[in-house]
């Protein structure tokens, strides 16, 4: 199965933001006035996210061996990260000796109804999963939380016998409810909120 289960931080596979990381001073950045008074510091500046996304693309191409890829983007949160990642993957392909064909499809995952778990995850949108048979599949997600939803998605996809299925996530949220799942390619962070110019910690 894609991903892994682990307890110790894997510094070779992601940028680890420790719980005692003080962050960057807000005076180093410009940010919208309506955030004034609500923020304490910036955890990850936008530039680091951009650079890390490019590096993830290089790692992915190296690890999968420049083979054709079927990319499944998990909406809604994964769209921007997926778009940036795919652009970097395409740039690598253009500058290599071998053209890599990439097709992107979009899905939404639903495991709750009215804030209550329905017990079974629903996959909304996208093509018939049977078309993934024999394909090299890359699932792109913005944040992996407990890992339970991603494991359920992987289980659903693997029933159709893809040649390979891997997971790339920009962030992994450390939570005591985690089942230990880790994507194949990632950056990590603790509790967070998002703004266009980076990831920040609120004052609350």
Provide the mean pLDDT of the chain.
Answer: 80
The residue written with tokens 């992915």 in the block is: 60
pLDDT of residue 175: 75
pLDDT band at 190 (very low <50, low <70, confident <90, very high): very low
- Are 85 and 154 a contacting pair, CB within 8 Å? no
pLDDT digits over 7-19, tens only? 444 434 567 777 7
Contacts of 152 (CB under 8 A, 6+ apart): 111, 120, 121
pLDDT of residue 188: 59
Calculate mean pLDDT across residues 61-78: 90
- The mean-pLDDT minimum among 111-115, 133-137, 155-159, 199-203 falls in 199-203
- pTM for the model stands at 0.79
pLDDT band at 136 (very low <50, low <70, confident <90, very high): very high
pLDDT of residue 199: 44
pLDDT of residue 144: 85
In the predicted structure, residue 100 carries a pLDDT above the cut 80? yes
pLDDT band at 173 (very low <50, low <70, confident <90, very high): confident
Beta bridge partners of 90: none
- Measured CA to CA, the distance from residue 84 to residue 60 in angstroms comes to 14
Burial class (CB in 10 A: 0-12, 13-18, 19+), 29: middle
Tell how far CA 1 is from the center of its chain: 17
In the predicted structure, residue 202 carries a pLDDT above the cut 50? no
The residue written with tokens 């703004």 in the block is: 195
Calculate mean pLDDT across residues 50-66: 90
């Amino acid at each position: 199965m894609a991903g892994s289960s682990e307890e110790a931080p894997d510094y070779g596979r992601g940028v680890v933001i420790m719980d005692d990381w003080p962050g960057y001073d807000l005076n180093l950045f410009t940010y919208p006035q309506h955030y004034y008074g609500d923020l304490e510091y910036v955890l990850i500046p936008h530039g680091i996210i951009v650079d890390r996304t490019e590096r993830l693309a290089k790692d992915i191409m190296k690890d999968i061996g420049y083979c054709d890829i079927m990319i499944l983007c998990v909406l809604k949160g994964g769209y921007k990260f997926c778009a940036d990642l795919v652009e970097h993957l395409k740039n690598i392909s253009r500058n290599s000796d071998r053209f890599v064909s990439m097709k992107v499809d979009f899905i939404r995952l639903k495991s709750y109804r009215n804030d209550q778990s329905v017990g079974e995850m629903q996959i909304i949108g996208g093509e018939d999963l049977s078309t993934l048979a024999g394909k090299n599949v890359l699932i792109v997600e913005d944040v992996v939380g407990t890992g339970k939803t991603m494991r359920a998605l992987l289980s659903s996809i693997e029933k159709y016998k893809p040649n390979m299925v891997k997971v790339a996530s920009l962030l992994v949220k450390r939570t005591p409810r985690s089942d230990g799942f880790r994507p194949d390619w990632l950056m990590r962070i603790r509790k967070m909120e998002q703004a266009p110019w980076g990831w920040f910690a609120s004052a609350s």
